[in-house]
Chain A
Amino acid sequence: MLRTFRIGGIHPPENKIASSSKIEVLPLPEVAYIPIGQHIGAPATALVAKGDKVKVGQLVAKSSGFVSANIHSSVSGTVSGIESIVDASGYPRPTIVVAVEGDEWEEGIDRTETLKEQITATPQEIVKLVAEKGIVGMGGATFPSHIKLMIPDGKVAEVLIINGVECEPYLTADDRLMVERGEEIMVGIKLLMMSIGVEKAIVGIENNKQQAIANLTALSKKYSGIAIQPLVVKYPQGGEKQLVKATINREIPSGGLPIDVGAVVQNVATAFATYEAVQKGKPLIDRIVTVTGGGIAKPSNFMVRVGTPISQLVEAAGGLPNGQLKVISGGPMMGKALPTISSPVTKGTSGVLVMPSEMATRPAASECIRCAKCVSACPMGLEPFLLNKLSVRKLYPELESRKVTDCIECGSCSYICPAGIPLLDYIRTGKSAVMHAIRTRKK
């Protein structure tokens, strides 16, 4: 039976045009640009300098705090320096630049594709390896995964929820991973279950991925404790609060985390990366990126080394079409429009969406007509039209009392607004001001 979350949600056209494109390994770049900040939290501290030789899988930047992650080199070659390279934000960020030479790997990494089912690691070793190998949330949020696996005192983990939802239109990376590397994912899920000490895991998959559901359901007969739950196709089902409600029907309290209701949520690609880290000794150095969109000749799903310039992916998918374009890193709802395609692929780049400007230009906004479509669409039960007005007028105390901090920035309100008002743009500004005030208040 299909399940879903109850409040809000929208149904943008799915456009999963790359869903039947098999995963293709992209050739190595000539120069790799590895940013030291590819995760939520403090950027890592670089360990290499100009002239150093590096191998694939070598630790090149160390986690710099509790909420931080290790970064490993995805290529072998010579470090040409630590430079300021413009990333997806448009701002230059410290990046380790490596001139690629050959494809030499660190010792101890199993590069074969044979499945390694037998688990010999202890729960503590699993968490340690997840941290050591630089695993972060692969859904795009890039939260350091080992932190989620360390259950705080006073909380109990009852179930592991695996996010195979991929609710963003156009993106198909997780879909192809579930179809082609399903068994590795199941072992990865087993490893995660062991690390937090739960007997039960639920994989949520939206119903537009029939092949993935079939593949994993068949495999689940072999792996006890893992249940596959098909879900109604609705955005933003991949949001952890929505996913927890849909799969186990529990509501995370405002300001809370999934562990407050006994759940730990991880993306399906993170489960795959965990398998590679624990069973194969391989750190997080590559990922699947969907290159798609109305302007792309050959929609594809590439297995790409972190640090490859996005321009190389676009070339491999048929190149940029003529005319004015919007190129988005991520999906059309929560992705970031890129000011340049020379930026590198990072651990969180789930897709590259190329849209001709006729398809992507926002219309000029008109006035709010109080239709309340945004209220119906908000998956967190907020009132976007009001939060928008308060943000524009900078009425921060009232914004806080109206729970702007609950906003997950999914963009459903902007999408559904018939007046074309960029609601989320202003709400985000207001939310960030309120969060800053809250942070400075506690001091």
Chain B
Amino acid sequence: MNTTILLTVITLSLLGVALAVILYFVAEKFKVYEDPRIDEVEALLPGANCGGCGFPGCRGLSDAIVKAEAMDGLYCPVGGNETMQAIAKHLGRVAAAKEPMVAVLRCNGAKQVRKNVNLYNGAPSCAVASATYAGQTGCQFGCLGFGDCVTACSFNAMKMDEETGLPVIDEESCTACGACVKACPKVIIELRKKGPKNRRIYVSCASKDKGAAAKKACGAACIGCGKCVKTCPFEAITLENNLAYIDFNKCKLCRKCVAVCPTSAILEVNFPPRVKEEEASKSEEA
């Protein structure tokens, strides 16, 4: 019995050693060389794997960055400028600073101003509703309110407001990765510059209907009157298909357009409340 055990132990040990040696040589022969910098850059990235950079996950982006010669066109919206500067420093390159962006919903059609004209009884998804018909309200361009954008957000930056029926974007959490923009079948979520002091102005409407039809469907619609276009001192606003659009690269945040818009379709975000001119003159008299 002793010899059996001894022989078994010796055979298995020899087998183990032989296999280990084979494995060692095979591993060496088939080793894939990877630039160690790819691991290092990946460690500097946030690790959310959201795809907002346009690459498959953070490793995809770090791979692209290391293999590229310059940092042009490569940007992680979640990590932002801080992360890109750190990566550039680590690789001995220069990265141009990009302005932070944020997602913005271009629709004012809350339940209070845009009434339902029929009841949707299908699957509660914007993609399904949009493919089925023009929507529950008189505006075929506006937000459907089933929250495909909220579902798409991997940073918990979006929430459906039950009172208005519109999604709300938390600008602190929003990384401008673009997932909600892709998810919205009406294409009414836009990535715009966050702005100095997080201030921005935009036309919160996507309706291409003529003024009367747009206003009938929604009280806060852009009616394409063009007052904003005429008022803007920086020629930042264009009017096309009965809809005004503010170019965020030209807008200087003077708010003149907000004051003249008859339907309050243009929104100003994070500004202090305006002191109205009549009130100011009254308080002067008093």
Enumerate chain A interface residues (CB-CB to B < 8 A).
Answer: 86, 89-92, 324, 326, 336-337, 339-340, 360-362, 365, 392, 422, 425-426, 428-429, 432
Contacts and interface: CB of A to CB of B under 8 A. Distances in A.
Interface string B187-217: 0000000000000000000000000000000
Given A336-B133, A426-B125, 19 more contacts: A86-B134, A89-B133, A90-B133, A90-B134, A324-B119, A326-B121, A336-B132, A339-B117, A339-B133, A340-B118, A362-B121, A392-B125, A422-B122, A422-B123, A426-B123, A426-B128, A428-B128, A429-B127, A432-B131
B77 interface: no
B135 A90 contact: yes
A91 B134 contact: yes
A358 to B, nearest CB: 12
A367 B132 CA distance: 23
Contacts of B119: 324
B128 A91 contact: no
B177 to A, nearest CB: 16
Nearest to A388: B123
Contacts of B134: 86, 89-91, 339
Contacts of A86: 134
Interface in B113-149: 117-119, 121-123, 125, 127-128, 131-135, 140
Contacts of B132: 336, 425
A91 B133 contact: yes
Nearest to A86: B134
A429 B133 contact: no
A428 B131 contact: yes
Contacts of B140: 90-92
Interface of B: 117-119, 121-123, 125, 127-128, 131-135, 140
Instruction: Specify the main secondary structure of chain A where it touches its partner.
Output: mixed
Nearest to B119: A324
Contacts of A326: 121
Q: Which of A336, A340, A425, A426 has the most CB of B within 10 A?
A: A425
A324 B121 CA distance: 12
B108 to A, nearest CB: 21
B94 to A, nearest CB: 37
A388 B186 CA distance: 22
B131 A339 contact: no
23 contacts: A86-B134, A89-B133, A89-B134, A90-B133, A92-B140, A326-B121, A336-B132, A336-B133, A339-B117, A339-B118, A360-B121, A362-B121, A362-B122, A392-B125, A422-B122, A425-B122, A425-B123, A425-B125, A425-B128, A425-B132, A428-B128, A429-B127, A432-B131
Contacts of A362: 121-122
| 4 A-B pairs with the lowest CB-CB distances in the bound complex, closest first | A90-B133, A90-B134, A425-B123, A422-B123
A297 B254 CA distance: 63
Contact of A429 (B118, B121, B131, B135): B131
A365 B124 CA distance: 10
B117 A429 contact: no
Nearest to B133: A90
A91 B127 CA distance: 16
A188 B133 CA distance: 36
A75 B119 CA distance: 34
Contacts of B128: 422, 425-426, 428-429
B285 to A, nearest CB: 53
A326 B123 CA distance: 16
Nearest to B140: A91
B156 to A, nearest CB: 19
Contacts of B133: 89-91, 336-337, 339
Nearest to B134: A90
Contacts of A360: 121
B115 to A, nearest CB: 14
Contacts of B127: 429
Contacts of B117: 339
Nearest to A429: B127
A320 to B, nearest CB: 14
Nearest to B130: A429
Contacts of B123: 365, 422, 425-426
Q: Which of B117, B118, B127 has the most CB of A within 10 A?
A: B127
Contacts of A339: 117-118, 133-134
Nearest to B136: A339
A92 B133 CA distance: 11
A422 B133 CA distance: 16
Nearest to A89: B133
Contacts of A365: 123
Contacts of A337: 121, 133
A336 B140 CA distance: 17
